[in-house]
Amino acid sequence: MASGYQDYAAGTIAEPMGGGRAMSTNVRDEPRWIPALAILAVFGLLAVLPHHVHVMPVWISYVVVLVVLVPMAAVTLTGSTFWVKAERIAIMLLAAVYAANTAAELADMIGIITIHPPETRAVSLLSSSLAIWVTNVLTFSLLYWQIDRGGPSARISNASTKPDWLFPQATAPELAPPDWRPLFLDYLFLGFNTATAFSPTDVLPLTRRAKSLMMVESTISLLTLVIVAARAINVLP
């Protein structure tokens, strides 16, 4: 069993989950309902933010969510590789848009705090900073989920690409099943730890793009917690 995990960490195995048939034209793999809930949660959080921190029209958010959820549903229903590719492109674009939107919203809030501090309300700042922080975690979790080894379908159907992150199960194979692969919840945990610890914890980044993404997420989280939340607490009655 140990050799299988060493091969996983080295990116040299190409065995589908469960040791069954290889997936070529059709891919039926990780359920999409958990990442779909994460996408809807991000949309909901952005929708409840105060109007002054929105950097794009509301209708764009509806279109983006629809464009992403359609291929995700199609992957679940058909397993077609066409929809797998469409899903990957859509989620990458969605995560990029949401990450840029979150950063812009944070910059706008910081500007409001520094330029018009008497007009800031503690409750509004706390709720907005919490929404931005959670959005940051969910957005980067989706990015990690899609980037690592080419995405969820590629991790199952073709594991020839070396991993971007090293999970503890790859170094301690006795703690997990032999066909273990990281799922969205594993990347959600990675995103949560990156936003709270501001550094790698049990999952180590191996590539420059992984390190760069984690630095961006940590920076957004740090600014949110230290600048916005601290200011909100300072103006509490």
pLDDT at 21: 35
- What integer pLDDT is reported at residue 195 of this predicted model? 92
Question: What's the alpha-carbon Rg for the chain, to the nearest Å?
Answer: 19
Reduce the DSSP state of residue 166 to 3 states and report it: strand
Alpha helices in 79-151 (DSSP H): 81-115, 122-147
Residues of the chain scoring pLDDT < 50 = 1-5, 12-28, 236-237
d(CA 172, CA 6): 10
Contact indicator for 131, 45 with CB cutoff of 8 Å: yes
pLDDT of residue 22: 38
What pLDDT sits at residue 184? 93
Structure tokens at 227: 């600048």
H helices of the chain, in order, are: 2-10, 33-48, 58-78, 81-115, 122-147, 152-157, 168-171, 184-197, 208-223, 230-234
CB atoms within 10 A of CB 195: 23
